């Protein structure tokens, strides 16, 4: 939110200042007219999301953020210049356009470099203490690492039993129960995270300290809440018979207005997608003849909503008889994928025929990716809750696809399941828009798999 806010403030401020000082009408109109200003802000934020300007990992790296700024500013300025009625009339003096771009670009570079060097590195760090069983310390901390660069668990309190074990842990500092309140205040701890399933370890003394910390304004949260908010996944690996606590699924899954609007949008998007596919068809036929040497289209059985089987359509990307020995997971650099097939997958063009499945109502634009019956049976036998993803239609793209790499094994499927369940739990227009923008990023950066 800070990045979004100050990007807008600095850009509008710089354009106003440059326009006023150098008497550049185009720059002044951009910030004086409410309509022009509104669409400039919208373009900046939308293209910033697409080109990962608001990805915290990107925003914390000088090299990556410079690349993102260049792409964001170039696209924003180009689209803004080319949209009549919602942006100022192009100036007769074209030098103003160059100044508009340079001011836009330079102010973002200066502000974001300041953020990387003086803010991202230290000012927004959140230190937390974990209360859990000793043998789970490393697993629980690793589950949150590399997600939010500003969030760190720096110590833990052992909750194995009533008798505290004073031995140190190799992975993180151990804090004695009786020292928790002092440690939290001394180290400026932001929150206390409780992950212990053993209530005996929460002694009366520790309970009293937690109450005192809560009264002093410290945040105390349960681990699964932190895990879900930081990773944007449902922590199915920490669920047991109380799974129902984690599945208050979004009302949007049954909201007739939401579903009707989504369906209308899906039909419109699918018609456009089919049209694009028809325009590309001559090139795809030629590329397939040279690089694939076989049928262009490929059909395969997949599991849809409520466990119903349907035939998914794709442009073929693998060699003929790629699964003569049965269904297997695709892997990175899979030798079965042809050179032309690699291009189709990277650009996501191979999935264009699935717009026909969407028009037929078998799929949605956004939802969990449909899997093959054989693989569903295999994973469901090993992984609780897997078939829960079938309560909504499978999608052309989804939260798991934009947040995680290609699934190559059961462990990857578990992570993708966590993302799918998060989408089902939090399904909304906002999350759908987020997935749409990230999908565009995947295509533009050639990341499809």
Q: What is the 3-state secondary structure (H, E, C) of the chain?
A: CHHHHHHHHHHHHHHHHHHHHCCCHHHHHHHHCHHHHHHHHHHHHHHHHHCCCCCHHHHCCHHHHHHHHHHHHHHHHHHHHCCCCCCCCCCCCCHHHHHHHHHHHHHHHHHHHHHHHHHHCCCCCEEEEEEECHHHHHHHHHCCCCCCCCEEEEEEEECCCCCCCCCCCCCCEECCHHHHHHHHHHHCCCEEEECCCCHHHCCHHHHHHHHHHHHCCCEEEEHHHHHHHHHCCCCHHHCCCCHHHHCCCCHHHCCHHHHHHHHHHHHHHHHHHHHHHHHHHHHHHHHHHHHCCCCCEEEEEEECHHHCEEEEEEECCECCCCCCCCCCCCCCCCCCECHHHHHHHHHCHHHCCHHHHHHCCCCEEECCCCCCHHHHHHHHCCCCCHHHHHHCCCEEECHHHHHCCCCCCHHHHHHHHHHHHHHHHHCCHHHHHHHHHHHHHHHHCCCCC
Structural domain of residue 94, as residue ranges?
2-120
Residue 63 lies in a domain: yes
80 and 52 part of one domain? yes
Whether 237 is in a domain gets the answer no
The pLDDT score that the predictor gives to residue 220 is 93
Do residue 56 and residue 101 come from a single domain? yes
Of the residues 120, 150, 165, which one is the last residue of a structural domain?
Answer: 120
The confidence band for 20, taking pLDDT boundaries of 50, 70 and 90, is very high
pLDDT band at 102 (very low <50, low <70, confident <90, very high): very high
User: Among 43-47, 54-58, 121-125, 279-283, where is mean pLDDT lowest?
Assistant: 121-125
Domain total in the chain: 3
Q: Do both 338 and 393 map to the same domain?
A: yes
Three-state DSSP class for residue 344: helix
Q: Is residue 246 part of a domain?
A: no
pLDDT of residue 373: 92
In-domain check, residue 90: yes
* Claim to verify: residue 304 and residue 224 sit in the same structural domain: no
298 and 196 both lie in a single domain: no
Task: Please say if the pLDDT value at position 166 is more than 60.
Answer: no
Nearest of 164, 239, 290, 166 to residue 414 by alpha carbon: 239
Asked whether the predicted pLDDT for residue 361 surpasses 60, the reply is yes
How far is Cα 402 from Cα 266, in angstroms, rounded to an integer? 19
Residues 90 and 37 in one domain: yes
Handedness of CA 329, 333, 338, 340 (dihedral sign): positive
> Are residues 288 and 195 part of one domain?
no
pLDDT tens column, 170-221: 778 999 888 999 999 999 898 999 987 666 667 888 889 999 999 998 999 9
Q: How far apart are CA 248 and CA 256, in angstroms?
A: 18
Q: Which residues share a beta bridge with 297? A: 315
Beta strand 364-366 with 395-397 is parallel
What is the DSSP code (8-state) at residue 362? S
Is the domain of 255 the same as that of 283?
Answer: yes
- Asked whether residue 245 is domain-assigned, the answer is no
Residue 219 lies in a domain: yes
Residues of the chain with pLDDT > 90, as a percent, come to 48
HSE of 26, CA atoms in CB hemisphere, 13 A? 19
Q: How far from 212 is each of 184, 209, 219, 378, CA to CA, in Å? A: 11, 5, 11, 49
Phi, psi (rounded to 5 degrees) for 279: -65, -35
Point out the domain boundary residue: 88, 120, 152: 120
Note whether residue 244 is domain-resident. Answer: no
3-state SS assignment for residue 54: coil
CB 364 within 8 A of CB 398: no
Residue of 437 and 160 predicted with greater confidence: 437
Query: Stretch 260-270: mean pLDDT, rounded?
Result: 96
Highest mean pLDDT range out of 108-122, 150-164, 316-330, 398-412? 108-122
202 backbone dihedrals φ, ψ, rounded to 5°: -85, 80
Cα angle value 40/42/48 (rounded, 5°): 100
pLDDT tens for 224-244 read 888 888 888 888 877 766 666
Regarding whether 316 and 382 lie in a shared domain, the answer is: yes
Q: What pLDDT, in 10s, does the model give residues 107-156? A: 999 999 999 888 776 656 789 999 988 888 888 888 777 677 678 899 99
Mean pLDDT (the chain, rounded): 87
Q: Are residues 289 and 165 in the same domain?
A: no
Q: Does residue 394 lie in a domain region?
A: yes
Q: Within this chain, do residues 116 and 146 fall inside the same structural domain, yes or no?
A: no
Q: For the segment 374-384, what is each residue's pLDDT rounded down to a tens digit? A: 889 988 888 87
């Amino acid at each position: 939110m800070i990045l979004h806010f100050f990007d807008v403030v600095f850009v509008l401020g710089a354009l106003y200042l440059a326009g006023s000082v150098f008497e550049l009408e185009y720059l002044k109109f951009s910030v004086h007219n409410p309509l022009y200003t509104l669409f400039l802000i919208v373009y900046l934020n939308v293209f910033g999301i697409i080109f990962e300007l608001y990805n915290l990992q990107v925003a914390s790296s000088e090299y990556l953020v410079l690349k993102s700024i260049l792409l964001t500013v170039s696209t924003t300025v180009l689209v803004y210049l080319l949209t009549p009625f919602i942006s100022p009339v192009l100036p007769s003096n074209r030098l103003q356009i160059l100044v508009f771009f340079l001011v836009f670009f330079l102010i973002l570079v200066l502000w974001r470099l300041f953020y990387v060097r003086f803010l991202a590195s230290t000012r927004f760090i959140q230190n937390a203490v974990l209360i859990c069983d000793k043998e789970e310390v490393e697993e629980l901390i690793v589950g949150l690492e590399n997600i939010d660069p500003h969030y760190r668990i720096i110590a833990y309190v052992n909750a194995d039993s009533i008798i505290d074990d004073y031995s140190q842990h190799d992975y993180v500092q151990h804090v004695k129960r009786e020292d928790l309140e002092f440690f939290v205040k001394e180290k400026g701890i932001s929150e206390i995270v409780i992950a212990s399933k053993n209530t005996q370890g929460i002694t009366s003394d520790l309970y009293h300290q937690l109450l005192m910390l809560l009264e002093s304004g410290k945040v105390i949260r349960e681990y699964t809440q932190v895990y879900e908010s930081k990773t944007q996944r449902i922590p199915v690996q920490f669920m047991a018979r109380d799974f129902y606590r984690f599945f208050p699924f979004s009302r949007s899954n049954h909201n007739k207005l939401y579903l009707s609007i989504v369906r209308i949008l899906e039909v419109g998007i699918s018609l456009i997608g089919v049209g694009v596919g028809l325009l590309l068809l001559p090139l795809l036929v030629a590329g397939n003849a040279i690089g694939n040497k076989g049928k262009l289209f490929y059909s395969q059985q997949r599991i849809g909503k409520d466990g119903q089987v349907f035939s998914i359509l794709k442009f073929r990307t693998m060699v003929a008889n790629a699964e003569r020995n049965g269904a297997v997971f695709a892997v990175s650099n899979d030798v079965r994928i042809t050179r032309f097939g690699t291009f189709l997958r990277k650009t996501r063009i191979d999935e264009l025929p699935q717009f026909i499945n969407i028009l037929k109502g078998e799929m949605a634009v956004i939802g969990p990716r449909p899997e093959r019956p054989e693989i569903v049976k295999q994973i469901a036998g090993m992984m609780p809750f897997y078939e829960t993803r079938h309560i909504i239609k499978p999608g052309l793209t989804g939260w798991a696809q934009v947040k995680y790499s290609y699934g190559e094994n059961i462990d990857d499927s578990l992570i993708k399941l966590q993302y799918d369940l998060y989408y089902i739990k939090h399904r909304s227009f906002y999350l759908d828009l987020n997935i749409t923008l990230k999908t565009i990023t995947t295509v533009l950066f050639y990341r499809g798999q």
